[in-house]
């Protein structure tokens, strides 16, 4: 690199780091830095940059962390193509960030776009694109800009869906790290999960004075938008954020206790093998002699590990599978991209695209 270019980059980095002298930003950065250090993350990192205030605040914090600690961080923006001007927005974002020595790679979601269940399908495709790019770039950890307001919204969304304890707490601050794809060994980390949206917006206005506005955030056709409005109304009824956070944290502690027995059940009553880079598993009858919730979660984790899916199988489908196994008339079934087949007193689970053991 030419000396002139190197000096220019150093100047940009110093100017960005000067913002850390702001007392409010400094506290947020220290918490961010502490979390990454405590996680002892090795290897390169990636940041998912939507262009909204939350992800741009994360981008700033990550950039400061990378320059201060000499760590390489990749930045990815997903152009979903769902809006007419999404390509233009992506190019604008890339140009704006380049002025801060942040090279944001644009990943494009190609193919036919959905007309229904848009947000869920878009979310699934975003993660798939991120995973594939991270595998290509040999990245093991992705930083996502979810914050505490997202935590509350997600809790109510899952409550309305009738989710169990694991579903209600899977987004919690205690479980701020989750496996994104077990076959590809990529994890997701939410380092801002304890920060509120107002604080992140403050950072972005102070540092960049720019962010992309997603009109879907105000679209009442989407349930998440209606939930966001509901949360504001619930505050007036006495359900403030402190009480909601306390409830989620208490439930999370119970969920962690159950997970202890899930790990124990999988360890003692299942056996994994790997053939042609595909996991296969044999489970014994003692696997199903545990409490219902332990069996439910154990089976869910095995299916996710074998299929490599980010999302677990739907609760109703899982309950149907377990009921059929318990009926003793079970022979074979496909769920979540896996084949579950009974052989004598054991059950074999393998990817539906692979050959049976």
The predicted structure's pLDDT at residue 230: 81
Whether 283 and 322 map to the same domain: the answer is yes
Whether 223 and 108 map to the same domain: the answer is yes
- The answer to whether position 340 is within a domain reads yes
- The answer to whether position 269 is within a domain reads yes
- The answer to whether position 13 is within a domain reads yes
Whether 14 and 118 map to the same domain: the answer is yes
Q: How far apart are CA 23 and CA 209, in angstroms?
A: 18
**Total domains in the fold of the chain:** 2
Domain limits for position 83: 3-146+190-239
Whether 206 and 282 map to the same domain: the answer is no
Whether 228 and 296 map to the same domain: the answer is no
Assess contact for 249 and 172: CB atoms under 8 A.
Answer: yes
* Residue linked to tokens 């409830």: 247
The predicted structure's pLDDT at residue 68: 93
Distances (CA, A) of 111 to 48, 85, 152, 216, 336: 21, 17, 33, 21, 23
Tell me: pLDDT of 12 over 80.
Answer: yes
pLDDT band at 119 (very low <50, low <70, confident <90, very high): confident
Assess contact for 13 and 45: CB atoms under 8 A.
Answer: no
pLDDT band at 218 (very low <50, low <70, confident <90, very high): low
Whether 134 and 262 map to the same domain: the answer is no
The predicted structure's pLDDT at residue 152: 87
- The answer to whether position 356 is within a domain reads no
Whether 209 and 278 map to the same domain: the answer is no
Whether 226 and 276 map to the same domain: the answer is no
Assess contact for 296 and 314: CB atoms under 8 A.
Answer: no
Assess contact for 225 and 215: CB atoms under 8 A.
Answer: no
Whether 225 and 297 map to the same domain: the answer is no
- The answer to whether position 161 is within a domain reads no
Question: Looking at 181, 208, 239, which one is the last position of a domain?
Answer: 239
Assess contact for 43 and 74: CB atoms under 8 A.
Answer: no
> Stretch 69-92: mean pLDDT, rounded?
89
The predicted structure's pLDDT at residue 180: 45
Question: Which among 113, 82, 94 has a CA at the least distance from the CA of 216?
Answer: 82
The predicted structure's pLDDT at residue 232: 76
The predicted structure's pLDDT at residue 176: 45
pLDDT digits (tens, 9 = 90+) for 14-64: 989 999 999 999 999 999 999 888 887 767 899 999 999 999 999 999 999
Q: What CATH number is attached to the domain comprising 75?
A: 3.40.50.620
The predicted structure's pLDDT at residue 217: 66
Question: Which among 118, 116, 119, 92 has a CA at the least distance from the CA of 104?
Answer: 92
Rounded (5°) CA angle 78-81-84:
130
- The answer to whether position 166 is within a domain reads no
Average pLDDT, the chain: 86
Instruction: Tell me the sheet residues that pair with 272.
Output: 281
Q: How far apart are CA 290 and CA 260, in angstroms?
A: 13
Structure tokens at 224: 């998440």
Question: Looking at 201, 220, 239, which one is the last position of a domain?
Answer: 239
Q: How far apart are CA 67 and CA 20, in angstroms?
A: 13
Whether 295 and 346 map to the same domain: the answer is yes
Structure tokens at 272: 């994994």
Whether 233 and 335 map to the same domain: the answer is no
Assess contact for 224 and 86: CB atoms under 8 A.
Answer: no
Question: Looking at 239, 271, 298, which one is the last position of a domain?
Answer: 239
- The answer to whether position 159 is within a domain reads no
238 vs 98, residue with greater confidence = 98
pLDDT digits (tens, 9 = 90+) for 171-202: 764 444 444 444 457 888 999 998 999 999 99
Q: What percent of the chain has pLDDT over 70?
A: 91
φ, ψ at 124 (rounded to 5°): -60, -45
- The answer to whether position 83 is within a domain reads yes
What DSSP element (H or E) covers 278?
Answer: strand 278-284
For the packed helices 197-207 and 23-39, what is the interaxial angle rounded to 10 degrees? Answer: 110
pLDDT digits (tens, 9 = 90+) for 237-280: 777 777 888 888 899 899 999 999 999 999 999 999 987 778 89
Q: What CATH number is attached to the domain comprising 314?
A: 1.20.59
Whether 200 and 87 map to the same domain: the answer is yes
């Amino acid at each position: 690199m030419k000396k002139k270019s190197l000096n220019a980059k150093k100047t940009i980095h110093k100017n960005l780091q000067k913002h850390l002298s702001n007392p409010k930003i400094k506290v947020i950065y220290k918490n961010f830095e502490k979390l990454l250090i405590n996680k002892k993350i090795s290897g390169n990192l990636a940041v998912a940059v939507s262009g909204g205030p939350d992800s741009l605040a994360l981008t700033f914090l990550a950039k400061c962390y990378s320059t201060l600690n000499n760590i390489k961080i990749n930045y990815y923006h997903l152009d979903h193509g769902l809006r007419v001007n999404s390509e233009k927005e992506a190019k604008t974002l890339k140009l704006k960030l380049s002025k801060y020595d942040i090279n944001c790679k644009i990943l494009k979601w190609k193919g036919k776009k959905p007309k229904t269940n848009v947000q869920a399908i878009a979310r699934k495709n975003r993660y798939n694109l991120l995973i594939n790019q991270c595998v290509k770039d040999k990245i093991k950890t992705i930083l996502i800009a979810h914050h505490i307001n997202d935590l509350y919204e997600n809790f109510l969304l899952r409550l309305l869906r009738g989710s169990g304890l694991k579903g209600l707490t899977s987004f919690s601050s205690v479980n701020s790290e989750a496996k994104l794809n077990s076959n590809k060994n990529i994890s997701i980390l939410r380092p801002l999960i304890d920060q509120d949206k107002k604080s992140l917006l403050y950072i972005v206005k102070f540092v960049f004075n720019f962010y992309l506005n997603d009109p879907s955030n105000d679209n009442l056709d989407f349930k998440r938008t209606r939930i966001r409005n509901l949360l504001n109304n619930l505050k007036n009824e006495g359900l403030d954020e402190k009480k909601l956070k306390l409830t989620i944290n208490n439930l999370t502690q119970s969920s962690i206790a159950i997970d202890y027995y899930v790990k124990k059940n999988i360890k003692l009553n299942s056996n994994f093998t790997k053939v042609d880079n595909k996991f296969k598993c044999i489970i014994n009858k003692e696997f199903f002699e545990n409490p219902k919730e332990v069996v439910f979660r154990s089976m869910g984790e095995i299916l996710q590990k074998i299929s490599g899916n980010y999302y677990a199988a739907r609760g109703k489908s899982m309950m149907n599978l377990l009921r059929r196994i318990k009926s003793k008339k079970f022979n074979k079934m496909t769920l979540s991209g896996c084949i579950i087949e009974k052989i004598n007193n054991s059950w074999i689970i393998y990817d539906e695209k692979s050959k049976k053991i």
